[in-house]
Amino acid sequence: MSATAEDISSTARRLGKRLRNQTGRAIQDFKMIEDGDRVMVCLSGGKDSYTMLDLLLQLQRAAPIRFELRAVNLDQKQPGFPEHVLPEYLESLGVDYHVIEQDTYSVVKRVVPENKSFCGLCSRMRRGALYEYAHQEGFNKIALGHHRDDIVETLFLNLFNGGRLKAMPPKLKSDDGRNVVIRPLAYCQESEIVRYARARDYPIIPCNLCGSQDNLQRQAIKAMLAEWERTAPGRIDSIFTAIQNVSPSQLADRDLFDFAGLRADAGATPENTTP
């Protein structure tokens, strides 16, 4: 039984309000967007970036501050990429946009063996092109569509494969200091974004470069977390909360906490004991 247009509209409104509130709270908590900012919104054609642009446009109309948005897509020259989809969609919205054309596809296919993941090199080249455009055009913020689940998955990818306690921060400065990257969807759940995107009927463009590769590490982490959530609902929320509540003295990073200089307080007495 298919949903009626009224049902879809109701779902979109309900989810949209929730996601918009979460996005607004993340922006406020981390001061992601301030008065006068020029924000480059990276649009891939996937559900996350469509949702991010949608919510930022809604917040822009209601916000007490003024900030500029421009949707930017990187056309990586993948064979069969539907070049018309994003321009037509953005023009229908009346949104300021730009398409960067750079053939990173050929480079990645030439350099990376077929049985290896393309994602690392592809993401670095894509990031470099987008960062350079933002710097040239004077945008002081770059918005990426990573959500709560992406952040948690990255934590475990680094933990299991890199030996580091490191995730995706909601806001960061690039290594060269020229760009500030923000992730407005940091508080949003992927499952709700999926439902919202379906209700909004975005013209989704799949990534044919890496989407067909099986057993990618991130997919394995995603499956592990999905099983955890199935057997212990709320676990992903708990993990994300833990990322926001770090106790350096309870870990073992000597650069983060001065264990060597730790000394007992002279003259201290046991708790609950009368001297």
Structure-block tokens of residue 127: 């990031």
* Strands, sheet with 68-75, edge to edge from the N-terminal-most edge strand: 97-101, 68-75, 38-42, 141-143, 180-182, 171-173
Check whether 122 is labelled as a binding-site residue: yes
Residue 188 marked in a binding site: no
10 Å Cβ neighbour count for 185? 29
Asked if 105 contacts 209 with a C-beta cutoff of 8 angstroms, the reply is yes
CA distance 153 to 137: 32
Rounded to whole angstroms, how far apart are CA atoms 239 and 155? 9
CB 134 within 8 A of CB 179: yes
C-alpha distances in angstroms, 101 versus 55, 105, 140, 195, 253?
26, 11, 22, 31, 43
Q: Is 207 annotated as a binding residue?
A: no
At a CB cut-off of 8 Å and minimum separation 6, what does 199 contact? 8, 9, 11, 12, 15
Contact 54, 43 (CB under 8 A): no
Would you list which residues are annotated within the binding site?
Answer: 119, 122, 210
Would you list which residues are annotated within the binding site for [4Fe-4S] cluster?
Answer: 119, 122, 210
